[in-house]
Amino acid sequence: MSLTLAIIKPDAVGSGKAGKILAHLESAGFTVRALRLTTLDKTQAGAFYAVHAGRPFYDELVDFMTSGPVMPMVLEADDAVAKLRDAIGATDPAQAAEGTVRRLYAESKGRNAIHASDSDENAAIEIGFFFSMHERLGL
Ligand code: CMP
């Protein structure tokens, strides 16, 4: 078993889709190991997406990710990083496969419902960004 980080983004939380997305992920075989509802400020969102700093969509991404509550969560499964990326689909919902979270629930490439870590190394960093040591002791 391994861990990854998902974030249900402000578009999906704000339109009441968080429960459906959570149920979808549980049905796909993930176990939720930690979860919270929080609102990021610009410094926090900018730091989380620092890898994208300087790209044309960066300011829009930070504005969007601070526009309302988000729901970060630690998910566990066999090969969790790859499995979650399969389950959520392509960044652009128009190109995401049938039955994926983004195909079902995302609005656009920017407002795309969910984030997922892209490697085991980044999953560890991103889990540490949102969850404190005491919340991770059981992981
Ligand atoms: P995410 O998986 O959270 O990682 C980076 C995010 O940047 C991505 O999802 C999209 O929401 C966003 N993003 C990537 N490309 C674009 C783009 N061309 N325009 C707007 N947002 C983008």
Per-residue DSSP letters for the chain?
A: -EEEEEEE-HHHHHTT-HHHHHHHHHHTT-EEEEE--B---HHHHHHHTGGGTTSTTHHHHHHHHTSS-BEEEEEEETTHHHHHHHHH--SSGGGSPTTSHHHHH--SSSS-SEEE-SSHHHHHHHHHHHS-HHHHTT-
pLDDT at 134: 80
pLDDT at 40: 98
Distance 109 CA to ligand 1 centre (A): 6
pTM for this structure? 0.96
One digit per residue, the tens of pLDDT, for the chain of length 139 reads: 999 999 999 999 999 999 999 999 999 999 999 999 999 999 999 999 999 999 999 999 999 999 999 999 999 999 999 999 999 999 999 999 999 999 999 999 999 999 999 999 999 999 999 999 888 777 7
CATH no. of 2-137: 3.30.70.141
Distance 19 CA to ligand 1 centre (A): 22
Q: Catalytic residue, from 24, 52, 115, 134: name it.
A: 115
The yes-or-no answer on residue 115 being catalytic is yes
5 CB less than 6 Å from ligand 1? no
pLDDT at 137: 72
pLDDT at 138: 74
pLDDT at 124: 96
Q: How many residues does the chain have?
A: 139
pLDDT at 139: 77
Q: Which atom of ligand 1 is nearest to the CA of 118?
A: 2
Distance 138 CA to ligand 1 centre (A): 32
Contact 119, 84 (CB under 8 A): no
